[in-house]
Amino acid sequence: MKTLIIGGTGHIGTNLTRKLVRAGEDVTVMSSGRTPIPEGDCYNGVKYITLRYSESLQDGSFAAMLNDERPAVVVDILQSDIGAVYGLSREAGVSHVVACGSIWMFGRPKVVPTPESAQTECPFPGYRQRYNELLQTLDLSKKEGLALTAIMPPNICGPGKIPLDGMGGRSLEVHQAHQRGEEVPLPYPGTNLIGPCDAEDVAYGFFCAVKNRENAAGEIFNVGPAYALTAERFIATYGQIYKTAIPVRYVSAETYIAEVSPDVGAHFHFLEHMCPDISKISSRLGYHPRYTPEETMERGVRWMFDMGLLKSS
């Protein structure tokens, strides 16, 4: 079965490419060309096509590529214009489209683990727009018969990208501060849940959807680790990984937002729960994450050392 992966050279895409190739699938990767093509035996048989996402949808080159390649499955990890990708895939005879979303699209959770439905209005305009477009396209797919599936990951961790730090970003400087054992401020009482999910496990969710089209069609699936960590435990885990004690200073939520972390994209991690319910994808598609949050955090830190981003103290 031929699969086209849009964004296949990124954090999720490289892991998904590897899984599909090793399963004997015919894989084509579309990327902008900004990220280097991965090296290794499993990538040797992969075809790489350089097209920019938005421009190719508008100028006809994406449609032409689909007609040339004739994939059975299109995996849209970028998911910036799912309506256009779906429409052009339908015209080209694609049988299954799998799109990437985010559990942040569901807004501030009212229950945890959080199911695959909106809890409150999403505070991020871009995510909110993409979620609405995704829901509209899902409705359309059920009428037209082209299978569409959405995969919703939480915070993505593991080798290949600087992992989420104790300030809600992906800063090498903050990780260096963690390594030195510097104090981390957290909103009191530090019990919100954070579920770092290894990029390999996120990719496995996409793999399960690709390999189980009948059960995946028309569905939204969360992916994530088997459990989440409290914010306090999240910081303590970095202390264990860096072999140092990282003290925590608690402040009020109001102080945290006003003085510590004004950016909603950062403080959302430590004020709202990020603990997806993965029971649906587990029961319907056989998804079972390989890594715990602690293991993927350790893998992410080890990758930074291996890449020379961090130096041993």
Residue percentage of the chain with pLDDT more than 70: 100
pLDDT for residue 225: 98
If phi over 0 gives left and psi between -120 and 50 gives alpha, with beta otherwise, what is residue 280? Answer: alpha
Count the Cβ atoms, other than its own, within 10 Å of residue 298: 19
pLDDT for residue 37: 84
CATH code of the region 158-195+227-274+290-306: 3.90.25.10
pLDDT for residue 274: 94
**138 with 220: CB under 8 angstroms?**
yes
Its pTM stands at 0.96
Q: Cα torsion for 88, 94, 96, 101, to the nearest 10°?
A: -30
For residue 287 the two structure tokens come to 């998804």
> Looking at per-residue confidence, does 275 or 33 come out higher?
275
pLDDT at 142 over 90: yes
> How close are the terminal C-alpha atoms of the chain, in Å?
49
Read off the amino acid at residue 137. Answer: T
Classify domain 2-156+196-222 at the CATH topology level: Rossmann fold (3.40.50)
Max Cα–Cα distance, the chain, nearest Å: 59
Cis peptide before 196 (omega within 30 of 0): no
227-248 per-position pLDDT tens digit: 999 999 999 999 999 999 999 9
pLDDT for residue 33: 86
Cis peptide before 154 (omega within 30 of 0): no
pLDDT for residue 35: 84
pLDDT for residue 127: 96
Residue the block writes with tokens 């959080």: 114
Region(s) of the chain under CATH 3.40.50.720: 2-156+196-222
Q: Cα torsion for 289, 277, 156, 241, to the nearest 10°?
A: -70
35-81 per-position pLDDT tens digit: 888 888 788 889 999 999 999 999 999 999 999 999 999 999 999 99
pLDDT at 249 over 80: yes
At residue 146 the predicted structure's pLDDT band, cuts being 50, 70 and 90, is very high
At residue 112 the predicted structure's pLDDT band, cuts being 50, 70 and 90, is very high
273-298 per-position pLDDT tens digit: 999 999 999 999 999 999 999 999 99
Over range 147-173, report the average pLDDT: 97
pLDDT at 185 over 90: yes
pLDDT for residue 38: 84
Mean pLDDT of the chain: 96
* Residue 174 to residues 98, 232, 288, Cα–Cα distance (Å): 35, 16, 31
pLDDT for residue 46: 94
At residue 101 the predicted structure's pLDDT band, cuts being 50, 70 and 90, is very high
At residue 176 the predicted structure's pLDDT band, cuts being 50, 70 and 90, is very high
Count the Cβ atoms, other than its own, within 10 Å of residue 84: 19
**196 with 293: CB under 8 angstroms?**
yes
DSSP letters along the chain, please?
A: -EEEEETTTSHHHHHHHHHHHHTT-EEEEEE-SSSPPP-SGGGTT-EEEE--HHHHHHHSHHHHHHHHH--SEEEESS-S-HHHHHHHHHHTT--EEEEE--GGGG-S-SSSSB-SS--S--S-HHHHHHHHHHHHHHHHHHHH--EEEEEE--SEESTTSPPP-TTSS--HHHHHHHHHT--EEEETT---EE--EEHHHHHHHHHHHHHTHHHHTT-EEE---SS-EEHHHHHHHHHHHHTS---EEEE-HHHIIIII---HHHHHHHHS-B-B--HHHHHHH----S--HHHHHHHHHHHHHHTTSS---
pLDDT at 120 over 80: yes
Contacts for 88 with CB less than 8 Å, ≥ 6 apart: 57, 62, 63, 66
For residue 100 the two structure tokens come to 């990437």
Spatial separation of the C-alpha atoms in residues 135 and 123, rounded to whole Å: 17
pLDDT for residue 9: 92
Residue percentage of the chain with pLDDT more than 90: 95
pLDDT for residue 42: 82
